[in-house]
Amino acid sequence: MASTVERKCKNRSCGVAFIARTADVKRGWAKFCSKSCKATDQERRTHQYATYAQRRSTSDGDDLMGHIFESGYFGHGQE
């Protein structure tokens, strides 16, 4: 069985103690108790989603390019 160690969640608003594998700790992983705690901390640091949401809300809707992976006006002739 894998060896484990008790860690404290790095998220400021959480701080819950959780069990992590020693191998994950050595890799630099196991800093957060869950994916949602990591996402909360990442958003606090980068404001990436807030910037995206603000950009989406101010869009006028006449964007010819659309999403970068969208096949639209500038697609690859598959319309």
Q: Containing H/E element for 17?
A: strand 17-21
**Which H or E run contains 24?**
helix 22-27
pLDDT in tens, 18-63: 999 999 999 999 999 999 999 999 999 999 999 999 988 887 655 5
45 against 67, higher pLDDT: 45
C-beta separation of 13 from 40 below 8 A: yes
- Domain spans of the chain, in order of start: 4-57
- Tell me the C-alpha to C-alpha distance, in Å, between residue 11 and each of 22, 56, 63: 20, 28, 38
Amino acid at 18: F
Provide φ and ψ at 59, rounded to 5°.
-65, 140
